[in-house]
């Protein structure tokens, strides 16, 4: 029997995923983090992006968009406490494009009331959502 790890992905609003996975890939701050069963303990922040879960007996990944959060890894349990988490199939491309355009305009218009750091964060989230949508389409 292949090794598996239990994964919980939770946002402030709801539990997005809870189940067994063969492995999981998370958008870490310094790059992607691939976590296999029996991984050594780890606590780290994650950036906006796609979480890929390789579920048993499925060829395709389960994809979840996260806007950031905290990842805790134990040998038999992975817990992601996300600021915002949305199943990739539930992402709205029109909304993501609208958010991207708004953030780009705020970055170009420095006299706006929006702070530069806030506009950069919104742009990063919109781009991560669009990238997640592209991954869904490639399936």
pLDDT at 92: 67
Same domain, 101 and 78: no
Nearest to 67 by CA among 54, 85, 51, 81: 85
Q: Are residues 62 and 114 in the same domain?
A: no
Q: Which domain holds residue 74?
A: 5-87
Pair 18, 53 in one domain = yes
pLDDT tens-digit map of 29-71: 889 999 999 999 999 999 988 899 999 989 888 899 898 899 9
Q: Are residues 42 and 14 in the same domain?
A: yes
What is the number of domains present in the chain?
2
pLDDT of 136: 64
Q: Do 79 and 17 share a structural domain?
A: yes
How many angstroms separate the Cα of 81 from the Cα of each of 24, 56, 66? 15, 23, 9
Last residue of one domain, picked from the residues 63, 87, 111: 87
pTM equals 0.73
DSSP assignment of 7-70: EEEE-SS-EEEEEEESEEEEEETTEEEEE-TTPPPEEEEE-SEEEEEE-TT-SSPEEEEE--EE
62, 12: one domain? yes
């Amino acid at each position: 029997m292949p090794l598996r790890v239990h994964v919980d992905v939770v946002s402030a609003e709801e539990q997005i995923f809870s189940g067994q996975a063969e492995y999981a890939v998370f958008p870490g701050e310094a790059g992607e983090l691939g976590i296999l069963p029996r991984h050594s303990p780890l606590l780290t922040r994650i950036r906006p992006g796609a979480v890929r879960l390789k579920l048993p007996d499925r060829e395709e990944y389960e994809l979840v968009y996260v806007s950031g959060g905290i990842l805790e890894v134990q040998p038999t349990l992975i817990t992601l406490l996300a600021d915002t988490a949305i199943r990739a199939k539930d992402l709205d491309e029109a909304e993501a494009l609208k958010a991207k355009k708004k953030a780009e305009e705020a970055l170009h218009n420095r006299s706006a009331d929006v702070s530069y750091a806030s506009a950069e964060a919104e742009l990063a989230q919109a781009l991560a959502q669009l990238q997640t949508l592209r991954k869904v389409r490639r399936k």
